[in-house]
Amino acid sequence: MNSLDRLARITTIVCLSLTVVLLVRPNGIVRMQIQDWRTQRQQQAYVRTNWDTLAAAAAVHGSPVRHAVIVEFLDYQCVYCRAFEDSAEALVKSVPTAAVVIRHLPNPANSLSREAALSVICADEQGGMAKMHRYLLASDEWRREPNWVEIATRASLADTTAFRRCLTSLRAVQRRSTDSAYAAALRIQATPALITSRSGVHLGIASLAEMKSWLRERD
């Protein structure tokens, strides 16, 4: 082997070694793909083990019988959660046995986001969760003037006195914290996050066709 061949071989070995290092280092493509795969497996295992509890949240759209459920983690300040609302409504119209149920994942650094979650929780205590949910997603006014009692009136809640007391209650805060704890266990940090019993966790908006396919997987 002459010196040029030896140099070419050494160069090839060095290049291959550098490529392997770049791929498997902590931020490398292979390492990140392996980590994503592990996270998905862990999420699916957690969902299977805790599905009955996760799906026991209050329904916003669809059948009260809940034969086919999608759990949505959302933040009422999230523009993508607003965009998903039409798809959720289309799903329950298209699949009569379907329900979309809500878990709260407000931005912990945003007080208005946290308060909005509490307002929906407190509306649920008097059967008005769907009304408040739809109002917050459809309106921008509450962001400019966050007077929650006035907002409850606009959302057609019957008992604003009880609603006001609930907003500062420990039980409401605990319920919001429970939802956030579920999100942490699932390693969810963004909204919307959609969960089904078989497909696990989907981050971001989903089409009607995608959601139908997830629900068919349960059969």
State the pTM of this model.
0.81
The per-residue pLDDT for 65 is 76
CATH 1.10.1040.10 fits domain 55-217:
no
Q: State pLDDT tens for residues 36-50.
A: 667 667 878 889 899
CB 128 within 8 A of CB 156: yes
Q: State pLDDT tens for residues 75-96.
A: 999 999 999 999 999 999 999 8
Which one-letter DSSP state was computed for residue 77? Answer: T
Token digits of residue 207: 């089409």
CA distances from 188 to 111, 179, 215 (A): 20, 11, 21
The per-residue pLDDT for 63 is 79
In the block, tokens 């959609």 appear at: 194
CB 28 within 8 A of CB 22: yes
Buried b or exposed e, range 21-38, using 16+ CB within 10 angstroms: eeeeeeeeeeeeeeeeee
Question: Taking the domains of the chain in order of start, what are their residue ranges?
Answer: 3-49, 55-217
Cα–Cα distance, 124 to 59 (Å, whole number): 10
The per-residue pLDDT for 130 is 92
